[in-house]
Amino acid sequence: MQFLSFRYKFLIFAGLVVFAVLGRLLPHLWNMTPVFAVLFFLTYFLGFRYSFFAGFIIMAVSDYFIGFYELKVMLSVYVAFIISSLVAFFARQNRSYHKLLFLSILGSLIFYFITNSAVWLFTPYYSPGISGLAQSLIAGLPFLKNSILGNAFYSMFLFALYDLYFYLSSKSIFLVRQGVRP
């Protein structure tokens, strides 16, 4: 998307941010939201700078409506989304849907370990020590399942939508060049 003007990049950015915020606000299964996929997509196509700002905007706006929680845990969730979206850099060469699926699962695992470790570290819910960390990780497994499913679905959806758009636009350009109006 390097050939797009700032205006189009901003429209894509804003549209995806609204999509992710609504995905968090509308009813959904726990951790099955488009937030990771949007940040993954933005990192892949527009760069980390867009993803970084989008992550904080998405989370802050949606948390404003959902409700804020323990500050250290909340910040770890924000940072975990941003760090996990960095896996998009590994997809830049030889992009395939298999690689995108693998990286979305990897992003889910990174998010899971960061956030569950933060809950163990910053809240009184679990005992200090390795047994408390293990309890926190075990308690987070149902959320991990939903996170993997949601991240895989939304990531594939966004990249497929992108590919479909460019496939259809290339067909349209071909028809115009042939003198046929679509």
pLDDT digits (tens, 9 = 90+) for 5-29: 888 889 999 999 999 999 999 999 9
| pLDDT at residue 90, rounded to an integer | 87
pTM of the full structure: 0.87
| pLDDT at residue 180, rounded to an integer | 46
| pLDDT at residue 120, rounded to an integer | 96
Give the Cα separation of 26 and 14 in Å (integer).
18
Where residue 129 falls (left for φ over 0; alpha for ψ -120 to 50; beta otherwise) is: left
| pLDDT at residue 181, rounded to an integer | 46
| pLDDT at residue 172, rounded to an integer | 66
| pLDDT at residue 168, rounded to an integer | 82
Query: The domain 6-177: what is its CATH number?
Result: 1.10.1760.20
CB 128 within 8 A of CB 117: no
Where residue 4 falls (left for φ over 0; alpha for ψ -120 to 50; beta otherwise) is: beta
| pLDDT at residue 1, rounded to an integer | 57
> How many CB atoms lie under 10 A from the CB of residue 170?
10
Which residue in 106, 108, 110, 103 sits closest to 88, CA to CA?
Answer: 103
| pLDDT at residue 174, rounded to an integer | 53
Low-confidence ranges of the chain (pLDDT < 70): 1-3, 172-182
Where residue 94 falls (left for φ over 0; alpha for ψ -120 to 50; beta otherwise) is: left
Q: Element (H or E) spanning 86, and its range?
A: none
CB 141 within 8 A of CB 30: no
Residue 46 DSSP label = T
